[in-house]
């Protein structure tokens, strides 16, 4: 009798499993998936003290070209949806300054320019966000950029000295990029 009870329970359990709430798996769901990660990164950092700025007569005291190969793979460049580059400038020197950031393509042609005219000490921290994509400049600028040229010019004399402790110019830049992976 005990054996019959176990057999009935066993068969009933198998029956429930076979007709339970199972549905066929749909492995084509990946086609409906839209993945858009945001990647954040620093781009460059420039710091110059007032002594260095004064060491050059009125004119350029800094100029450098950087390789920027974030989008050198076509796969990455094609999936770039939008981007934001944020610049943050602090000037505690006694100098009026101009900072120019140029975006260059692989042939060295200028694709875009960001120009900052900064007043002498005590200037407030300048924060500028530049948008690329549907709500800003053409996204092709970022996708085709392979280099950056940063230059800084002293628009004042080379004798004045700020009363601030350790007067300097600091330029920070960072970026966020949104990609479509699927």
Residue 72 lies in a domain: yes
Residue 60 forms part of a structural domain:
yes
In the sheet that holds 110-118, the strands lie side by side as 59-67, 147-154, 97-104, 110-118
Calpha distance 151→61 (Å, rounded): 8
| Domain-located, residue 131 | yes
The verdict on residue 25 lying in a domain is no
> Residue 25's pLDDT is what?
65
Containing structural domain, residue 93: 50-179
In a domain, 146, yes or no: yes
Is residue 130 in a domain?
A: yes
CB-based burial label for 141 (10 Å; 0-12, 13-18, 19+): middle
Gap between the Cα atoms of 20 and 45, Å rounded: 62
CA nearest to 144, candidates 64, 65, 78: 78
Domain count, the chain: 1
Kindly give the confidence (pLDDT) of every residue in the chain, 182 residues in length, as a single tens digit, with 9 standing for 90 and above.
667 767 767 777 666 666 556 566 666 665 665 666 777 888 889 999 888 888 876 678 889 998 888 777 776 778 888 989 999 999 988 888 999 999 999 999 999 999 999 888 766 888 999 999 998 999 999 888 899 999 999 988 887 788 888 888 999 999 998 888 76
pTM: 0.76
The string of pLDDT tens digits covering residues 87-100 is 999 998 888 899 99
Q: Residue 69 falls within a domain, yes or no?
A: yes
Evaluate whether residue 6 is within a structural domain. no
CATH number at residue 174: 2.60.120
């Amino acid at each position: 009798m005990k054996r019959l009870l176990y057999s009935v329970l066993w068969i009933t359990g198998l029956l429930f499993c076979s007709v339970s709430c199972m549905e066929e798996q749909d492995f084509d769901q990946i086609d409906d998936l839209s993945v858009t990660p945001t990647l954040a990164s620093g781009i460059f950092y420039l710091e110059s003290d007032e002594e260095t700025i004064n060491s050059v007569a009125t004119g350029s005291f800094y100029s450098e070209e950087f390789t920027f190969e974030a989008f050198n793979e076509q796969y990455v460049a094609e999936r770039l949806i939008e981007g934001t580059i944020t610049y943050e400038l602090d000037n505690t020197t006694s100098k009026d300054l101009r900072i120019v950031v140029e975006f260059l393509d692989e042939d060295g042609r200028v694709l875009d320019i960001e120009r900052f005219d900064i007043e002498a000490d005590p200037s407030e921290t300048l924060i500028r966000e530049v948008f690329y994509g549907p709500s800003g400049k053409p996204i092709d600028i970022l996708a085709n950029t392979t280099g950056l040229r940063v230059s800084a010019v002293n628009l004042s004399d080379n004798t004045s000295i700020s009363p601030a402790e350790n007067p300097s110019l600091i330029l920070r830049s960072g970026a966020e990029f949104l990609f479509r992976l699927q």
